[in-house]
Structure 1
Amino acid sequence: MDFDYTATQNEMRAAVRALCAQFGDEYWRKLDEQNAYPEQFVQAMTKAGWLGALIPEEYGGSGLSMLDASLILQEVNHTGANGIACHAQMYTMGSVLRHGSDEQKQKYLPKIANGSLRLQAFGVTEPDAGSNTLRIKTFAKKVNGGYVINGQKMWTSRYFQSDLYLLITRTTPYEEAAKKTDGLTLFLVDIKKAGSSLKATPIRTMINHQTNQVFIDNLEVSDDDRIGEEGKGFYYLLDSLNAERIIATGEILGNGKWFIERASRYASDRVVFDRPIGANQGVQFPIARAHMNLEAAELMRNKAAFLFDQGKPCGTEGNMVKYLASEAAWEAAEAAMTTYGGFGVACEYDIERKWKETRLFRTAPIANNLVLAQIAQHTLGMPRSY
């Protein structure tokens, strides 16, 4: 069994690092101060072809593997950048690729690959339905030639940087569905064409992350905007969620490794009471422990990505690796913050910026407590706890 990355993957990682070197700490720090979107960075990633990594070559993409895609974002965050600004462009197209019609694939995938169309907005969560997607209330009523949609979504990120909106709705009320996983339908909505039927209101957060609540008022879509069969949207959605968790894990691992390197270097250089603070076990042990946990999480990520690329079930592994990586990265963030002491909250050192970003991953794209509940019930056979 070979645990090494291939020469091609290492070359790819080096190329990503070289691109990110053009956007150093000062670039990200300034954007953080202005609460601004990294448009230049996203354009550079698009032009280099990294955001089209998972799109097959026949549609203008690179045709890379899920592991490759996760490694790309791992390197992005390892440099101190923030891949969450554009990571959805890599995986949201998966529903179109795997379940869309030939016409939809030909129409959208080449433009998503070259960046002339952005598909980054993903409408799933609602005010009264967080992780319980089956309880969403946004409803698509069937009419002649299409549907009329009404409802509300929360935490739709990058809406104002998107041309297309991937939207999950109910087409059968929850109470009337034969199976509770039936009756959900997935649509691909042209935001500009939708006009005033879609209204997004930004939600200010503690990190520089553009996210919104979206009000949907008599949105008219055609049958051609539906992805796959009516009522099967939940199963299509799972494909995107598994990809999201594996890709996000790359970002999480990158953050964790960034913290480990910064903290190790600072602990070795910072002298207090005539000795480097890194000579104290109280400083070095938390860093070492976080490093080991990150290494273990990376191996688990590679397994989950392998299963995804083989077309095998990977929901359990995707959830587990997101949990393991986010806990290890948060452990690294806390170790770095403690190591830097007062300087950890000083913006010029960037620890506080990445610390805030890393905390988000314990909650999104799935809450860690929900992962534990799912593993306990579905993997270990214990009674349902929620």
Structure 2
Amino acid sequence: MSSDDERDLDLIRTATGELARKFGLEYWREKDKKAEYPWEFVKAFAAGGWLGAMIPEEYGGLGLGLSESAVMLHEIAASGAGTSGASAVHFYIFPPGPIIRHGSEEMKRKYLPLVASGDLLMAFGVTEPTAGVDTSRITTRAERTSGGWLVNGQKVWITNAQNAQRILLLARTSPRTEERPFDGMTLFFTDLNRDRIAVREIEKLGRAAIDSNELFIDNLEVPDEDVVGEVGKGFSYLLDGLNPERIVVATAQVGLGRAALEIATQYAKDRVVFDRPIGKNQAVAHPLADSWIRLTAAEHVAMHAADLYDRHLPCGPEANAAKFLGSEAGFQACDRAMQTLGGYSYAKEYHVERFWRESRLLKVAPVSQEMVLNFISTKVLGLPRSY
């Protein structure tokens, strides 16, 4: 990466960091407590043009790369917004990817400017309760009709569905085969029609400000113009969203870990026990130092993956490695912050318990650590498939 690129990233880091920090820790504590969507925060980033970071300029965006977006997500999480703030913005970053690369010109001109301005909120409908991490076994089906499709099925852990106007929906349009299990799935970018889609919110451990939902789809009519790319190739298009998702999740987790580390470090300096600050004890200092090292290493891997993506080079192994390392380092930093604060870590006024709850999620989502190891062991090391 050139020095000019580094300067550009520094400018973005400063601008987005300053904007995110206008929304303090108490703002996020209240949003988490009341389970309220952070619309004020989203609108502030929309006003700055940041929601369209990766949308091309001809469609109303900034035309930036994944590297810039990854830096922005890091700064949002590191500001104390954590996963709640990062999730509220990153759904404008990775879900539009398949539309940008494979959508029709009419689709892009109609919807991408609305996404970039924050006037259109998307949901991402892939996961199903009976398929788990094996996307090839989804059972939501789209049947051909005159001039369109009729969709029936169920989705789970769908973010934003309480408020989203449209959904990027994956459905089977032809049966699964053992020879080519990922063929025969089609992506639709269509209305989240509440008359045909029942949306039920899931009560969960963390990130309460951002809703997660079950969807029950009953005879949803989808016109042909809502098909993204070619029928039957939807899973391959998803990769244009999934690798960026892993990368921005990694940098957000690093940012979240750094937010926790900052609080823990200050506490270790200020808290006096047995007539000395607890940070003078290596049992406290060394775990925090170790977390700093791991967060820094994870960030470097994630930014390398983002750079590969921006240069249109293969980045699957690096994107998955970034997600693995970012999730591990982020959660470990939050857990160590809990340990450093001791009993006070349970007090919401210190905020680290929210960071801990939010960071734990990303060890199992959007892909589990075990599935990352499966990918690396088979695709990179060439070992026999174990699943």
Where does the alignment leave 5 or more consecutive residues of structure 2 unmatched? none
CA distance in 1, matches of 2:279, 2:216: 52
Q: Which residue of 2 aligns with 1:308?
A: 309
8 Å CA contact retained: 2:76, 2:255: yes
CA distance in 2, matches of 1:328, 1:233: 33
CA distance in 2, matches of 1:256, 1:96: 32
State the shift of 1:161 in Å.
2.3
Q: Which residue of 1 aligns with 2:164?
A: 162
Q: Which residue of 1 aligns with 2:67?
A: 67
Q: Which amino acid aligns with 1:73?
A: L
CA distance in 2, matches of 1:320, 1:105: 31
Q: Which residue of 1 aligns with 2:145?
A: 143
Q: Which residue of 2 aligns with 1:43?
A: 43
8 Å CA contact retained: 2:171, 2:186: yes
State the shift of 1:31 in Å.
1.1
User: Which shows bigger deviation, 10-19 or 181-190?
Assistant: 10-19
For 1:196, what is the secondary structure of its paired residue? Answer: coil
Aligned ranges for residues 264-283 of structure 1 at < 5 Å?
264-283=265-284
Q: Which residue of 2 aligns with 1:377?
A: 378
User: Which shows bigger deviation, 259-268 or 347-356?
Assistant: 259-268
Q: Which residue of 1 aligns with 2:154?
A: 152
Q: Residues 355-383 of structure 1, C-alpha deviation per residue, up to 9 Å, x if partnerless?
A: 10011111111100111111111111112
For 1:200, what is the secondary structure of its paired residue? Answer: strand
CA distance in 1, matches of 2:71, 2:240: 19
Q: Which residue of 2 aligns with 1:332?
A: 333
Question: Is 1:242 matched with 2:240?
Answer: no
CA distance in 1, matches of 2:4, 2:366: 28
For 2:41, what is the secondary structure of its paired residue? Answer: helix
Over 4 Å off, 4+ runs: 1-5
Q: Residues 49-108 of structure 1, C-alpha deviation per residue, up to 9 Å, x if partnerless?
A: 111100011111001110100110100010101211231112111111000011111111
Aligned ranges for residues 206-225 of structure 1 at < 5 Å?
206-207=205-206, 208=208, 209-225=210-226
For 2:181, what is the secondary structure of its paired residue? Answer: coil
Q: Which residue of 2 aligns with 1:258?
A: 259
For 2:342, what is the secondary structure of its paired residue? Answer: helix
Aligned residues: 382
Aligned ranges for residues 1-386 of structure 1 at < 5 Å?
6-81=6-81, 82-119=85-122, 121-175=123-177, 179-191=180-192, 194-207=193-206, 208=208, 209-386=210-387
CA distance in 2, matches of 1:339, 1:35: 28
Q: Which amino acid aligns with 1:284?
A: A
8 Å CA contact retained: 2:148, 2:224: yes
Q: Residues 307-326 of structure 1, C-alpha deviation per residue, up to 9 Å, x if partnerless?
A: 10011111111111000011
Q: 1:249 to 1:5 in 2, by over 3 A?
A: farther
Q: Residues 211-259 of structure 1, C-alpha deviation per residue, up to 9 Å, x if partnerless?
A: 0000000011111010010100010011110111111112111101112
State the shift of 1:48 in Å.
1.0
Q: Residues 13-48 of structure 1, C-alpha deviation per residue, up to 9 Å, x if partnerless?
A: 111122122210111111111111111111111111
Q: Which amino acid aligns with 2:15?
A: A
Q: Residues 129-160 of structure 1, C-alpha deviation per residue, up to 9 Å, x if partnerless?
A: 12111110000011121110000000001112
For the aligned residue pairs, the C-alpha RMSD in angstroms reads 1.4
CA distance in 2, matches of 1:332, 1:374: 25
Task: Give aligned-pair identity as a percent.
Answer: 46
State the shift of 1:178 in Å.
5.2
Q: Which amino acid aligns with 1:256?
A: G
State the shift of 1:8 in Å.
2.3
CA distance in 2, matches of 1:95, 1:278: 48
8 Å CA contact retained: 2:295, 2:326: yes
State the shift of 1:273 in Å.
0.3
State the shift of 1:5 in Å.
6.5
Where does the alignment leave 5 or more consecutive residues of structure 1 unmatched? none
For 2:36, what is the secondary structure of its paired residue? Answer: coil
CA distance in 1, matches of 2:361, 2:3: 29
CA distance in 2, matches of 1:178, 1:219: 30
CA distance in 1, matches of 2:326, 2:93: 20
Q: Which amino acid aligns with 1:124?
A: V
Q: TM-score, normalised by structure 1?
A: 0.96
Q: TM-score, normalised by structure 2?
A: 0.96
State the shift of 1:125 in Å.
0.6
CA distance in 2, matches of 1:261, 1:292: 14
State the shift of 1:342 in Å.
0.6
Q: 1:226 to 1:133 in 2, by over 3 A?
A: same
CA distance in 1, matches of 2:356, 2:24: 17
